[in-house]
């Protein structure tokens, strides 16, 4: 499948790759995704992440994965890309930064519930969540 996207902006960078906000051009026009990319030679983690996320399509508290594809970029060569649901409100860290280093008390209950329900689904399927500190 010949997937074409326009990169709108960088959303962030993790240990293994960069995440862009993108808009699709082909084969479907104007779909918005968060797209995580890694050089093909170092893409095994991303392919694994995709394989795992696909198992959580029915979990509303785990970010939805919309598949992956390979592209060739002039500067980087062959790249593997994974489409994710775009979390437009950003991360909890963004929320804390906007609120003087805290999560507003009125929001704590709702986010705690979402995190615990997401973790419950993850553990139920036999996975553990790991976050890298760097």
Q: Which residues bind ligand ATP (CB under 6 A)?
A: 11-17, 19, 34, 36, 63, 84-87, 91, 131-132
- Looking at the Cβ atoms of 3 and 20, the one nearer to ligand ATP is 20
- Looking at the Cβ atoms of 2 and 71, the one nearer to ligand ATP is 71
Minimum CB–partner distance for residue 41 and ligand ATP (Å): 18
Structure tokens at 28: 């479907």
Minimum CB–partner distance for residue 118 and ligand ATP (Å): 13
| C-beta separation of 65 from 54 below 8 A | yes
3-state SS, residue 79 = strand
- Looking at the Cβ atoms of 19 and 122, the one nearer to ligand ATP is 19
3-state SS, residue 70 = strand
Contacts 24+ apart (CB under 8 A), 125-131: 125/55, 125/56, 127/52
Minimum CB–partner distance for residue 117 and ligand ATP (Å): 18
């Amino acid at each position: 499948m010949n997937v074409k996207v326009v990169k709108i902006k960088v959303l962030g960078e993790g240990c293994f790759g960069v995440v862009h906000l993108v808009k699709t051009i082909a084969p479907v026009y104007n779909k918005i995704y968060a797209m995580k990319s890694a050089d093909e030679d170092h893409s095994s983690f991303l392919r694994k992440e995709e394989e795992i996320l696909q198992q959580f399509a029915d979990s509303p508290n785990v970010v939805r994965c919309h598949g992956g594809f390979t592209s060739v970029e002039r500067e980087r060569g062959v790249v593997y890309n994974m489409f994710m649901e775009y979390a437009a409100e950003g991360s909890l860290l963004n929320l804390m930064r906007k609120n003087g280093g805290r999560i507003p008390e009125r929001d704590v209950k709702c986010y705690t519930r979402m995190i615990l329900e997401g973790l419950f689904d993850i553990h139920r399927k036999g996975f553990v969540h790991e976050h890298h500190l760097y």
